Chain A
Amino acid sequence: MSTERQKSGKTLDRRQFIASVMKTACGVGLLGLGLGLYSQGATSLPAWAIRPPGALPEDDFNGACIRCGLCVRDCPFDMLHLAKLGEEVPTGTPYFIAREAGCEMCEDIPCVSACPTNALDHALTDIREADMGLAVLIDQESCIAFQGLRCEVCFNVCPVRGEAITLDMQHNARSGKHARFVPVVHSEHCTGCGKCEEACILDVAAIKVLPRHLAKGQLGAHYRLGWEQKREAGGALVTPDAEHRYNLPEGMEYEHGGRGLIPEVVPGQPASPVPDNPLDVLNRKGAL
């Protein structure tokens, strides 16, 4: 009798145990699902937020960074922030806003040395190799250099001046007689530090640092630029260089500059069958 009761008590216990375990598992599963969905949305970095130098690619960064803020604290220029809950940047992760204060590209990269997790990759030892983003002169309509005015502030503040940004001298078609000095960013040297965006004199910067995947295009893999190929090979690869000959009336040649068919210039002879002096024509035998 008593053993029976014990038995049934035991099965009841086991049933209760299994039920409670199932309940917990379901609860935790639901919570996990919620957290998973939430984290999907919460891990995307807005384009205006830039990671410190050496940051791993965004997906890896969100796994590696433990949100300690040591990088923020060790930045001597105090320009990094840790995202607060409710901000668009993944909670607790470090970022900066170029327009507010760009990265000063410290030689010793203290933010990277401070990072305990390699979320800021300690393999980065030369700050000029940093790749925080890429500056793009995104609004040519507003940039005053494009209007033919002298500005060049972004060019002058760039820590990689002359390599990451150069000035391109162009003809000013509006005035017809001036030059425009247009800033051009070179993606292989720009570190994305954001100093140019910070310094742009417009009310809203015309040059902006964007994540590289937004800023860069990519040529189709099958594209070959003929002139590059030729330069690399030291000569034409397809057909040997040959001077093209036209089938032209005798004594004529073709001028490519726009004049078209013109009489051939034979050394020692007048360039034109029509002499300079109209009287010569009149005096020519057989004339009139």
Chain B
Amino acid sequence: MNAFPGRTARAEQGWFKAHKWLLLRRASQLGILVLFLAGPLAGIWIVTGNLSASMTLEVLPLTDPLLLAQSMLSGAWPVMSGLIGALIVLVFYALVGGRVFCAWVCPVNLVTDLAAWLGRRLDIRASGRIPRDARYWLLGLVLLFPLATGVIAWEYLNPVSIAHRGLIFGMGWGWTLLLAVLLYDLFVVRRGWCGHLCPVGAFYGLIGVKPAVRVAAAGRERCDDCMDCFAICPEPQVIKPALKGAAQGIGPLIADMHCTNCGRCIDVCGKNVFGFTLAYRRAGLGLSEPVGDGASAVAATRHPVSSQPGG
């Protein structure tokens, strides 16, 4: 596969344009970490707790619904703030897309993206195969444990919470898990953790099956089969129906719940095929022009940004 997906986009539209959503995403991931870390490191208490449950400015509770579900399955009954927090999170991800958590919040994404990047650059072909639905089995297991044993066993292994809690409250040996994920993704199964196994991602995917924000291949007729989007996408199977489904009458919307709304396909496409779109625009899937980059594609031709550094 292409070791440098996005090269054409970069050459034609500039480095920033070819990394726009990536930069925004990293800003979001790191920004969230900074908010959590500002308290313990600088004494600026904006958000306390961690991704499992947090309190923002002493008014906004947020709770990880999957963890709260496990807690409740073990027989505990949460307090109101815990329930409200979980509800807010559920509604939020149901609107923006469940796996937005993966692309925009989860700290493990930094590791698995690094693994994917290294794999492309070093041309390491992790050839292991496991079914992509293994994650749902794991999700079942994760929920079964507290029910059967009364213990949230998954929390002894969960790289997502161990990474996030580790960064904020002290890592201990948590880094070994992250290293394991990195090596697994790099050498065993490509996109092996987030794309095949992670039950947290699977859960978030399930709560945001029909979100209001989605990527659409609105300009699919411009596609020149460079395959860059397939190379960069953490869940490449989601692209094909939207990009190549015109003949079968499949709309250009990436409707698959596994899409993480990371926007990297938008970045790397030199032909501005993709763009984010809002639900109200996709009535009947007859969307004409996606918001975001499809629209700015026109602008891009008028104001070329290729003069930007790295372009």
Residues of chain A having any CB pair with chain B under 8 Å = 20, 23-25, 27-28, 31-32, 35-36, 38-39, 42-43, 56, 59-60, 62-70, 72-74, 81-87, 90-92, 114-119, 122
Bound CA–CA A36/B18 (angstroms): 45
CB–CB A73/B49 < 8 A: yes
CB–CB B156/A91 < 8 A: yes
Bound CA–CA A62/B131 (angstroms): 32
- 15 new A-B contacts at CB < 8 Å, known A36-B153, A66-B53: A28-B138, A39-B149, A65-B152, A68-B49, A68-B63, A70-B48, A70-B49, A73-B45, A85-B162, A85-B172, A85-B176, A85-B177, A86-B173, A90-B156, A91-B162
Instruction: Report A-chain residues with C-beta under 8 Å of the C-beta of B157.
Output: 35, 38
Of the candidates A43, A73, A92, the one whose C-beta lies within 8 Å of that of B151 is: A43
Bound CA–CA A246/B155 (angstroms): 75
Of the candidates B64, B134, B171, the one whose C-beta lies within 8 Å of that of A66 is: B64
Instruction: Report B-chain residues with C-beta under 8 Å of the C-beta of A91.
Output: 155-156, 162, 172
Whether A63 contacts B169 in the complex (CB less than 8 A), given A27-B130, A73-B49, comes out as no
CB–CB A117/B76 < 8 A: yes
Instruction: Report A-chain residues with C-beta under 8 Å of the C-beta of B76.
Output: 56, 60, 63-64, 117-119
Instruction: Report A-chain residues with C-beta under 8 Å of the C-beta of B39.
Output: 73
Contact with A along B71-91 (1 / 0, CB 8 A): 100111111011001000000
Instruction: Report A-chain residues with C-beta under 8 Å of the C-beta of B63.
Output: 66, 68, 116
Instruction: Report B-chain residues with C-beta under 8 Å of the C-beta of A118.
Output: 76-79, 82
Bound CA–CA A70/B78 (angstroms): 14
Is B61 among interface residues, defined by CB-CB distance under 8 A? yes
Bound CA–CA A25/B133 (angstroms): 11
CB–CB B70/A66 < 8 A: yes
Bound CA–CA A119/B77 (angstroms): 9
CB–CB B152/A63 < 8 A: yes
Instruction: Report A-chain residues with C-beta under 8 Å of the C-beta of B177.
Output: 85
CB–CB A70/B156 < 8 A: no
CB distance from A65 to the nearest CB of B (A): 7
Instruction: Report A-chain residues with C-beta under 8 Å of the C-beta of B137.
Output: 24-25, 28
Of the candidates B49, B75, B81, the one whose C-beta lies within 8 Å of that of A69 is: B49
Closest 6 CB pairs of A and B: A84-B172, A63-B74, A116-B82, A64-B76, A86-B173, A68-B53
CB–CB B170/A63 < 8 A: no
CB distance from B226 to the nearest CB of A (A): 32
CB–CB B162/A117 < 8 A: no
CB distance from A263 to the nearest CB of B (A): 75
CB–CB A74/B153 < 8 A: no
Instruction: Report B-chain residues with C-beta under 8 Å of the C-beta of A72.
Output: 169
Of the candidates B55, B68, B149, B162, the one whose C-beta lies within 8 Å of that of A36 is: B149
Instruction: Report B-chain residues with C-beta under 8 Å of the C-beta of A42.
Output: 156
CB–CB B53/A116 < 8 A: yes
Specify the chain A residue showing the minimal Cβ separation from B85: A116
Is B54 among interface residues, defined by CB-CB distance under 8 A? yes
Instruction: Report A-chain residues with C-beta under 8 Å of the C-beta of B74.
Output: 60, 62-64
Is B246 among interface residues, defined by CB-CB distance under 8 A? no
**17 sampled A-B residue pairs with Cβ under 8 A:** A25-B137, A27-B130, A27-B134, A28-B140, A39-B156, A62-B74, A66-B68, A66-B152, A67-B161, A68-B53, A85-B162, A85-B173, A86-B173, A92-B52, A114-B55, A116-B79, A117-B79
CB–CB A86/B172 < 8 A: yes
Instruction: Report A-chain residues with C-beta under 8 Å of the C-beta of B94.
Output: none
Instruction: Report A-chain residues with C-beta under 8 Å of the C-beta of B141.
Output: 28, 31-32, 35
Instruction: Report B-chain residues with C-beta under 8 Å of the C-beta of A119.
Output: 71, 76
Chain B positions 250-281 with a Cβ under 8 Å from a chain A Cβ = none
Contact with A along B272-295 (1 / 0, CB 8 A): 000000000000000000000000
Bound CA–CA A20/B134 (angstroms): 10
Contact with A along B34-69 (1 / 0, CB 8 A): 000001000001001110111100000101100110
CB–CB B75/A63 < 8 A: yes
CB–CB A65/B71 < 8 A: yes
CB–CB B156/A73 < 8 A: no
A66, A67, A69: which has the most chain B beta carbons within 10 Å? A66
Contact with A along B186-213 (1 / 0, CB 8 A): 0000000000000000000000000000
Bound CA–CA A91/B172 (angstroms): 10
CB distance from A86 to the nearest CB of B (A): 3
CB–CB A24/B133 < 8 A: yes
CB–CB A66/B173 < 8 A: no
Specify the chain A residue showing the minimal Cβ separation from B152: A63
CB–CB A70/B77 < 8 A: no
CB–CB A20/B79 < 8 A: no
Instruction: Report B-chain residues with C-beta under 8 Å of the C-beta of A32.
Output: 141, 144-145
Chain B positions 114-156 with a Cβ under 8 Å from a chain A Cβ = 130-131, 133-134, 137-138, 140-141, 144-146, 149-156
Instruction: Report A-chain residues with C-beta under 8 Å of the C-beta of B172.
Output: 83-87, 91
